[in-house]
């Protein structure tokens, strides 16, 4: 079962993973009010179960509350067509209005089930904001992988090692390791089959923030 971005970010927040301030809007008027409270400038993000939203026009920046409302009105009630949806697209029933964030660097981080080892694997790359499948096909050397022993879990050493290989500063290596460890807690506690942050960004104030969030839950566990 796929969760929307706003749902995934709500879970992230409960586990101490930093996400931007954001609120869901179901109408353009709600979007305007939310943006006004944020100071006017905000990102408007279509909430659909598909990747590639940015390239398809599903993520836009509004510089005033009125502009945010106009963008929201143009998205809500329409279908967004991306490379993952097919020609019919996916319906947009709501948008996430999110504070605009200055970005110094983007990264990719995910935890998925590795079919070969039948256990979880952490994946990290400096190619944040890009389609990870495309990166894997064209520049596989840019993708880092770490197998997670189910009996031990994700260790702080593994997080620090990934952060070091990504070339992060000492402070951000520590922050990255904590985020990765907390993601694994989310993964286990919620019976996930996938957790993805793309991008995980170093913002203007030098903090690591999950600018996007994707969670898929194993359907066999939904009875919980």
Residues with a known catalytic role: 108, 196
* CA gap 165, 161 in Å, rounded: 6
- Quote the tokens at residue 109: 């981080």
* CA gap 15, 126 in Å, rounded: 24
Cis peptide bond upstream of 199, omega within 30? yes
- Quote the tokens at residue 147: 């197998």
Pairing outcome for strands 119-125 and 103-114 = antiparallel
Which residue carries 């943006």 as its tokens? 35
Establish how many alpha carbons lie within 13 A of residue 80's alpha carbon, considering only the half-sphere containing its beta carbon: 27
Reference 145, options 162, 129, 131; nearest CA is 162
Which residues have CB under 8 Å from 130's CB, separation 6+?
108, 198
- Quote the tokens at residue 14: 């409960």
């Amino acid at each position: 079962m796929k969760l929307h971005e706003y749902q995934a970010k709500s879970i992230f927040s409960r586990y101490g993973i930093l996400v931007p301030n954001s609120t869901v809007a179901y109408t353009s008027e709600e979007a305007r009010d939310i943006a006004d409270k944020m100071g006017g400038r905000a990102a408007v993000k279509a909430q659909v179960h598909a990747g590639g939203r940015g390239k398809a026009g599903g993520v836009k920046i509004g510089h005033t509350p009125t502009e945010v409302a106009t963008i929201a009105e143009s998205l809500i009630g329409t279908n967004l067509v991306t490379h993952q949806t097919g020609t019919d697209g996916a319906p947009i029933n709501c948008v996430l209005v999110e504070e605009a964030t200055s970005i110094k660097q983007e990264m990719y981080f995910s935890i998925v089930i590795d079919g070969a080892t039948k256990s979880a694997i952490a994946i990290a790359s400096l190619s944040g904001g890009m389609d990870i499948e495309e990166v894997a096909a064209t520049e596989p050397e840019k993708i880092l992988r770490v197998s997670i022993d189910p009996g031990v879990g994700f260790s702080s050493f593994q997080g620090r090692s990934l952060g070091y290989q990504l070339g992060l500063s000492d402070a951000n290596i520590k922050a990255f390791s904590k985020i990765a460890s907390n993601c694994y807690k989310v993964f286990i506690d919620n019976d996930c089959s996938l957790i993805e942050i793309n991008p995980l960004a170093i913002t203007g104030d030098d903090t690591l923030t999950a600018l996007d969030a994707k969670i898929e839950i194993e359907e066999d566990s939904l009875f919980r």
